[in-house]
Each structure stands twice: as structure tokens, then as C-alpha cells.
Structure 1
């Protein structure tokens, strides 16, 4: 089998993790040939120069519709593997696509301008007929794809994401702070439901005045900053922005709890990573989260700051229950490993030949 891997989104947080581990793993397999498309001047997978195709147009850039097919025109008999459902329509190669989530259709009001939703709908309709193989990262995403776009389930292969080895292998770090804190890791997009987390934290801080809230992740949402000010949480809420993985692990190790309030996830990697570091996780049950986390997380109603505050208080106050969730989380996280995911991809890819 000959593969053409589109790694242009390697610097994205979610899809970038998938590219590094799955595409990186595929490069170690004995396929007939693999070529990799990178963005010029950006992070890249380690491949020989003759196996690399350098592109100047990013995903969603209209120029990719011409540049990528032109640069790949000589690669006959290859499968083009896109880690995202936006792809160049003029490709001559057969198509393999991974769909991570359908958030655009679950919460269309969160995506401006509306053309983004229309574009997503157009390309998802295209992959229904054009893709030789569609991967999803959860049963939830597969079911959404079948329901919303009538994609036959026998065309969809479900492969869960994995937790990086470093989350299991790194020795425990000392806490970066002298005070206890709750931790959230992820972006601040509206569906991540950070507003509810802030409101819950204001309630719980009255019972636990020494407690702080630490937020790690890209934070482009002014509404969240406004809510921090409105709730007078400037001294107790610590937004740290994006941090490299070793630093994330350090903050996980020091946290009293990990909270994940998202309204929808196609998979939900951060709470699994927290579990791998032995943190008790309080999570929304939305989207794929209950599927992935099973009984290893304590769930709350994501529309209720009061319920979240009560669940935080429960685990802070009951050490035995907190330790029980820590142990269940460790065991659950071991089920999700990247080498396993790579092997499953290889199995389905080889079946195409």
C-alpha cells in the first residue's frame, strides 16, 4: 500500500496530537511507500527529504484546492489520508478521512460566520461518496456521522485515541503552588463551557477559600475574561495559556482535582491524561465523554453550576471517594494507548489493498 499523509495540521492541539502519534506510527510500518505533506516552515514529522511534500496553503485556505492536487499529481496509486474532513476536491488519489467530531452541527451558533458550518456540511457530504475509508475516534462520532449524513456504518471504522507514554512514565512532580487548586486543560471555545466552571468555582470557593482554579490552554474568548472579572475571581483564577506537555504534567501532578465541563466532545483526551497522572476527574457526560471515561469519572449536569460545585465539594471533602476515582481513572487510562491505535489503523488500511 502507498500512502500520502496530510500532516499540515500538526501544530493544532487536538488533530496535531493525532498526527504525531498515528501518522508518526504509520511511518514505522512496512508500507510500500509513504509521502508526507507538511506546511513550509512549520513543525514536521521526521521523514527523508525525498518523501516530503512542502505546501504553502493551510487547511481551509482556498489555495489548497489547487496547490495540493498539483503537487501530488504524479503520485498515482496512492491513498490520500486526511486527518480532517476538509480535503482538496481535485485530488486524483483515493481518499481516507478521519472525522474527530461534528461540533459544527451540534452547536452551529458557536461558529461565525455561518459559512464555516456550510463548508463543513459540504465536505462531509463529499466524503460520504468519495472516501474509501472513514475513521472516527468514538462510537459517538460514528453515530453522529451516520445520523446526520447517512454515512453507512460499515464504511466507518472506530479507533479510540491514546494517551502518550510520557503521562505514564514521567516521575511525579512537586506541586507548582503552595495552595490547593482545581485544574482544567483545554481551549476556551464556547462549547467547552468554561463559564459554568467559573460560576461553580465561585460557589465552591466560599466553602474552600484556600482553593484556586488553574486554566491551561489557548484562551481567545473575551467572554471568559469578562466572566472572571464579573465574578471577582481575578486573584483566585489563574489562566496560564498554552503550556508544553511536560509543564501540563507538572500541573496535573499538583492538582487536587481535574474538571472537564465540555458540552460536546468527539473523544475527550485531557480527562484521560489527567487519569493517567492519578487525578480524580469530574466531567460532563456530554458527547463521547461517558463512552470514553466510563465509571472512572464523577459526572455532573453541565447546565448546572450548582451541581458541579456540589461534586467538587464531595471529592474535596471525602478523601476515600477521591482516592477511589483516582484508582479507577488510572486503570481506565491504561486501555487507551497510541501503539494500539496505530495497529488498528494498520489493520484497516491493509484491508483496503
Structure 2
């Protein structure tokens, strides 16, 4: 390796989590645009996982295919012993090494991989902050996963607030942490589209607020609906558009309970749920909306806020560390546990804001984009090269 080249593979985050997919895509795009270093970026996977399609969508150079040794084979037995006795996965390590991979980046690190360095990209410590949302069994599993990843990895990536949580969780591994701001890389062709097309396509009113969050309990849709109930009592009836997955494995009845509240509080005519939509549609909804709203109780980063800021849109956001870390230029904050405060903020926007693109904010966002992408690239490259050097020195 020279100081100007590096070969990295990512595990395919986000097969069932859009935020992970977005994280990897933004990282790959930033590395491709890096000016100082040539990065060869691939996805680790197999055909059965749809990895080739994932790699194409993410803009990676290709896939490093890995299949575990055949069951009951001598190689499988040797590998299993290595994993059990010393957390050494010789089979995966040799596959990566033959492919020329110097460092593997994944959400968790489960093994030593021979001459291949590893980076764990920690997502969040939600189970520490909101323990009521997790069973004791899952809490223990998450604790073990984080402890193992922080112990085995050569370096650790995390958003600034997640890095702070990680320092408190396992201070003995603080020296491995490298805070990363995973800036959203936006395809500027979106500015050429007529974002108002979503109004016709989905039968929406021209004026609406947009909430692009998955329907998970901690996303606090209930608090937002309670705020809309308050506004209804004031005679203020803002239209709100929602998109995202309705499945929360921790509480399968969460979305049905929200639907029941919408009916009970007579909000049906002002709440519009569009389902899971293409990312291009998300961007058009952001641009057409009066503003983007994120009432979440907790985030590791919060891509809906980050993407809205990267596009150039006004934002109403819960006042939590992850959202403050982003320093979005047109963001107003509220206490996510105060439904009256949420209602007041929404009312102000509804009575004053215009729909469609904010040309001033969009121009500012486009001007900042190259610098922000380069900052992300340099942070990633520094961490990748540190991991390779630290691993080689062991």
C-alpha cells in the first residue's frame, strides 16, 4: 500500500434498514470523490444476499464474494475451532486477503481476520438511553455486541454523539474512536425535477409538512399526532405527509395503535401516509413540503434532518444531541416530549411558510456540498489508513 491508495470492503448495511444503506452509499460516494487518495471500494457478500445489486446501487467497484466452507468439511471444522477458541475467522480473512482488501468496515466486528484490518461503525446506544423499548435479553445482546466490536476492531467510526456514548460505555477502547459526520451526498439532478409532481401523483394538497421517518416507537409519531390533536382544537388543521416502514419488531402493534389514534382524534383528512417510496420521491417530497419535521426521541445521527439540510430545506427537529450535532442552517428545535411546543412550532410554519423549493437555502446547500463531502472523505480515509497501520503494527 502507498499513502495514496487503499482497498476497503463494506458489509452491506441496510438490507432491512434504510439508514444503513444511506450511510454506506454516502461513504462510498465521498471516497470516490476524494482528491488526495484513490480508494478501491467493494461490498462483502454473496449472490444469495443480492450483493451485486446492492453494490451497483451503492456505487461500489464490485463485490467480494464469500461463502462459508462446506458443512462438515475439514476447512469448516478448522475455521469453527479458530472462531471459538480465538475469534479468528481464517476462511473469511483469507478470502478478503486474496481479493486485495486491506480493511473491512461493518456495523459489528465479530472476528480477527488475519492480515485484514477491521473497523466497526457503531450506530447508536439507543438501548442505553431508552431501555424501556428493549427486553432484558436484547439489552444484554446489544451490550455484548458493542463490547465485542469495540474490543476486536482496529478502529471505530461513530457519529459525534454516539462516540461520546461509546466512551462512557467502554472507556478502555476510547483511543480507537474516530467521530464521523456522515454527510448526505445529494445527486444534484434532483434540482432539475419538478418536485410538485408528487402533489399530482399521490393526490396531495399543495401545502403540507413532511415526516420521512420509519414508524418505530422512538421516532415519536405519537407525540406529533398529539400535537395535531391540539391544533385541531385551535382550529388549525395542517396537512402532514408520512412515509416509511410501519414495522417495529419491538412493538408490532405500534402502527395499528397510531392508526386508531388518527381515527379517534378525527385527523384522517389531514394525515397522509404514502407507504415506502423511492428515495427520489423522498427528495421531491422534501422540496415540495413547507418543511421537514423529525420529532424523534433518539437518533444515532438522523438522516431525515441531514438530507433535508443537504438539499436546502427548512426543518423542525427534536432537540436531541444527534440533531444538534448536524448544525443544520435552517433548523428550529423543540422538546420532543412537549406536545404543546411541537404544536406551537407546527402552527407557526403552517401559517407562514410557502410550499416548494427555497431557492436561497438550496443555493447555499449546493455551494457547501463539495466541502462537506470532502470533509467526510478525509475523515473516512484517515480512519481507514489508521486501522491498516495499527493492524500491521500488532
TM range (shorter): 0.7 to 0.9
Which consecutive unaligned segments of at least 5 residues does structure 1 have? 57-62
2:322 is aligned with 1:301: no
Residue 296 of structure 1 contacts residue 332 of structure 1 at CA under 8 Å; is this kept in 2? Answer: no
Cα gap change, 1:169/1:219 in structure 2, threshold over 3 Å: closer, same or farther?
Answer: same
Residue 168 of structure 1 contacts residue 276 of structure 1 at CA under 8 Å; is this kept in 2? Answer: no
Choose which of 51, 66, 69 in structure 2 pairs with 1:53: 66
2:47 is aligned with 1:12: no
Q: Who wins on radius of gyration, i.e. which is larger?
A: 2
Which residue number in structure 2 is paired with residue 60 of structure 1? Answer: none
2:149 is aligned with 1:109: no
**1: CA distance, partners of 2:67 / 2:16:** 15
Residue 186 of structure 2 contacts residue 311 of structure 2 at CA under 8 Å; is this kept in 1? Answer: no
2:285 is aligned with 1:275: no
SS at match of 1:36: strand
Q: Could you say which structure has the higher helix fraction?
A: 2
Question: Displacement, 1:170?
Answer: 2.3
Choose which of 38, 49, 52 in structure 1 pairs with 2:45: 38
Cα gap change, 1:88/1:153 in structure 2, threshold over 3 Å: closer, same or farther?
Answer: closer
Q: Deviations over 1:40-65 (max 9, x none)?
A: 24242146777433679xxxxxx9x8
Q: How does 1:62-77 map to 2 (within 5 A)?
A: 69=89, 71-74=91-94, 75-76=96-97
Residue 163 of structure 1 contacts residue 269 of structure 1 at CA under 8 Å; is this kept in 2? Answer: yes
Q: Deviations over 1:209-236 (max 9, x none)?
A: 5521111111123332232223222222
Cα gap change, 1:157/1:50 in structure 2, threshold over 3 Å: closer, same or farther?
Answer: closer
Question: Displacement, 1:319?
Answer: 5.0
Which residue number in structure 1 is paired with residue 251 of structure 2? Answer: none
TM-score, normalised to structure 2, is: 0.74
Q: Deviations over 1:174-208 (max 9, x none)?
A: 16133421110111111111100011112224446
Question: Displacement, 1:281?
Answer: 1.0
Which residue number in structure 1 is paired with residue 144 of structure 2? Answer: 122
Which residue number in structure 2 is paired with residue 234 of structure 1? Answer: 268
Cα gap change, 1:338/1:184 in structure 2, threshold over 3 Å: closer, same or farther?
Answer: same
Residue 120 of structure 2 contacts residue 150 of structure 2 at CA under 8 Å; is this kept in 1? Answer: no
Choose which of 124, 127, 131 in structure 1 pairs with 2:153: 131
SS at match of 1:238: strand
Cα gap change, 1:259/1:50 in structure 2, threshold over 3 Å: closer, same or farther?
Answer: closer
SS at match of 1:96: strand
Q: Deviations over 1:310-337 (max 9, x none)?
A: 11112333459x99x9966974783684
CA RMSD of aligned residues (A): 3.4
- Which shifted more, 249-258 or 186-195? 249-258
Choose which of 255, 266, 269 in structure 1 pairs with 2:300: 266
TM-score, normalised to structure 1, is: 0.82
Choose which of 167, 170, 185 in structure 2 pairs with 1:149: 170
Question: Displacement, 1:12?
Answer: 2.3
Which residue number in structure 1 is paired with residue 26 of structure 2? Answer: 21
Q: Deviations over 1:272-310 (max 9, x none)?
A: 222344432111111311121356311111111111111
